[in-house]
Amino acid sequence: MRRVVVYPGRIAVETAEVPAPGPNEALVRTLAVGVCGSDLHAARGSHPFVPLPYRPGHEVVGVIEAAGPAAGAWTPGQRVIVEPDLPCWTCKMCTSGRENLCENLQFFGCGYAQGGMADYFTVAANRLHPVPDVLDDHTAALIEPLSTPVHAVRLAGDVAGRSVAVLGAGTIGLLTLAVLRAHGAGMVVSTDPNLAKRERAAALGAGATIDARSPDVAGQVRQVLGGSADIVFDCVSVQSSLDQAIAIADKGGTVMVVGVPAREVTVPLPIVQDHQIRIQGSATYLPPDYAESADLLRRGAVRAADFVTAVRPLAQVAEAFELASSGQHVKVLVSVGEPTQVRG
């Protein structure tokens, strides 16, 4: 079988043995897999937790080929999506229903021995979710990336009617915007330095968009919102975006840190304390977030046509990474096997 390996400065498609499932695992044949912003970080060597080389692919849809004797009742042919967190299930976080924060967490497709950019892979079967029949493969590939903002919006609390800013209109920023709209948020302002991305945000329902490079971004956002934001989603997580987020949330607001920071940033702690600003990290997702994502996609609250802007076959995976890095695309998918007919 073919398997993608990312080396410093090079993305290779290599030949490997089809893996055999362990007792608790399933063997999955890949259908489609997304290129994530974190894959681009990792390929550049700038992901804080993914050393090179690595085997990418965590936004993966496939078909059950076989399952180990203790893997549960899986039928070959069942379409599945991977929940790529690989928790230990025994630590304090795992035993309190927060396995996304597992103290011994491994992550399929991010520093793990296998990823989904391969013809086949094996993974713990309890990390698989059946894909609803009505979702086509490309739509199903959005369940994982959509679950990240679903989780962040859930952690932020009730967003209905609230004034919100979303910093960054890349994939996660746009998906966050879509989730906020589905949850009945009030005015949502999007910022991004890229005009095409701001136009996408406007088309997806942002009440206003602001160039993230313009002077006094925070002042402009506050002017549009008529005051501070109740919640700011920082989907960029660099020094300038965090500074803007705190200024927009000031006073008394919440800053959700959703983007993966490539490096440490400085926090104006006197302001955070004195102005009672809440800074809340958000890390991946839990099964209820997967369920809500599938539901949002089924209801059409998020449409694959708005997000999947390019698809390349596995043999052209390097081009898929280039396209994803270009700033011209929202979600780039790699198609691996023959697409499944949608039955719904």
Minimum distance from CB of 99 to Zn ion (Å)? 6
**Closest to Zn ion by CB, 91 or 342:** 91
235, 167 Cβ separation under 8 angstroms: yes
3-state percent helix, strand, coil for the chain, nearest multiple of 5:
30, 25, 40
Q: Which of 145, 153, 207, 208 is nearest to 180 (CA)?
A: 153
**Closest to Zn ion by CB, 88 or 310:** 88
Cα gap 38→50, rounded to integer Å: 9
Cα gap 293→144, rounded to integer Å: 8
- String of DSSP letters for 192-221: ES-HHHHHHHHHTT-SEEEETTSTTHHHHH
**Closest to Zn ion by CB, 146 or 218:** 146
Minimum distance from CB of 82 to Zn ion (Å)? 11
Total residues found in the chain within this entry: 344
Minimum distance from CB of 228 to Zn ion (Å)? 30
| 193 phi and psi angles, rounded to 5 deg | -75, -20
Q: What angle do CA 124, 125, 131 make, to 5 degrees?
A: 130
**Closest to Zn ion by CB, 18 or 91:** 91
Minimum distance from CB of 247 to Zn ion (Å)? 28
CA pseudo-torsion sign 106, 112, 115, 121: negative
> In the complex, which residues of this chain contact Zn ion (CB under 5 A)?
36, 87-88, 91, 94, 102
Contacts of 44 (CB under 8 A, 6+ apart): none
Cα gap 331→244, rounded to integer Å: 26
Minimum distance from CB of 84 to Zn ion (Å)? 8
AA letter at 60:
V
Minimum distance from CB of 235 to Zn ion (Å)? 12
Q: Give the tokens for residue 74.
A: 């899986």
**Closest to Zn ion by CB, 88 or 267:** 88
Contacts of 49 (CB under 8 A, 6+ apart): 107, 110, 111
Minimum distance from CB of 260 to Zn ion (Å)? 9
83, 128 Cβ separation under 8 angstroms: yes
Cα gap 322→315, rounded to integer Å: 14
Minimum distance from CB of 103 to Zn ion (Å)? 5
Minimum distance from CB of 193 to Zn ion (Å)? 22
- Coil, helix or strand for 40? helix
**Closest to Zn ion by CB, 14 or 103:** 103
**Closest to Zn ion by CB, 43 or 102:** 102
